[in-house]
Copies of this chain bind each other. A is one copy, B any other.
Amino acid sequence: MRVKTNSGKHESGQIPEPTLRRLPGYLSFLKALKANNLEYVSSGQIAQNFKMDSTLVTKDLAYTGIKGRTKIGYEVDKLIQTIVSFLDFDQQEKAFLFGVGNLGKALIKYQGLQSYGLHIIAGFDTDPAVINTTLNNVKIHSIDEFRDLSRKQNVRLGIITTPDAKAQETADLMVAWGIKAIWNFTPQSIKVPDNIIVENTSVYSDLAVILNRLNQ
């Protein structure tokens, strides 16, 4: 029998990815409730908002270690804090971004990410037109400077928003200079050592789902 310690975060058992993906949604909903001065929320209310089963919400929330009160539900404020801390959205993870094109610029300018724990501290590009410019207080460097900067700053996360063809060499460079996790916005699959974490975000996957549902 598997014992769940549930002491909060970073427990031994791996959190299911679907749960991790749903929690930010709950967070957004909870913030809206808070803005309306609601003090308590039930799993049923959350479930209704997302058109899902309330048990699933309960189980998702259980992973964060929070306890609800029967008949009353969960304290909105505490639940927000618990999820934020559980997801490490309060940690300010530093990141380097490679490829300051349309998407890269949008990510750097996107204020939202900062309040969700992601702090892009530098951008890198090969285009002289963007090198040495500053976007949202983030300086864009030539790729050559990556080596020095990564020595000075202990950055674990790298973001790839380069053209597709540059994805692999960018990933290689990141791995060579100590990046531990890569967030790849390119449709290219990149090859990295097993100990490196890769998360692929491809808008094409979402598009595929939409078009299929539209046309079926």
Binding site for B on A (CB under 8 A): 9-10, 14-15, 17, 20-25, 27-29, 32, 49-50, 87-89, 91, 93, 102-103, 105-106, 109-110, 112-113, 116-118, 156-157, 164, 180-181, 183, 187-189, 191, 197, 199-216
A197 close to B215 (CB less than 8 A): no
How many copies of this protein are present in the complex? Answer: 2
Q: List 18 A-B contacts (CB under 8 A).
A: A10-B216, A14-B216, A17-B209, A21-B205, A24-B202, A27-B187, A27-B204, A28-B204, A89-B211, A91-B211, A106-B106, A112-B203, A117-B207, A181-B213, A197-B210, A197-B214, A199-B209, A199-B213
How long is the Cα–Cα vector from A25 to B102 in the complex, in angstroms?
21
How long is the Cα–Cα vector from A93 to B211 in the complex, in angstroms?
8
Q: Which residues of B contact A10 (CB under 8 A)?
A: 215-216
Q: Which residues of B contact A87 (CB under 8 A)?
A: 208, 211-212
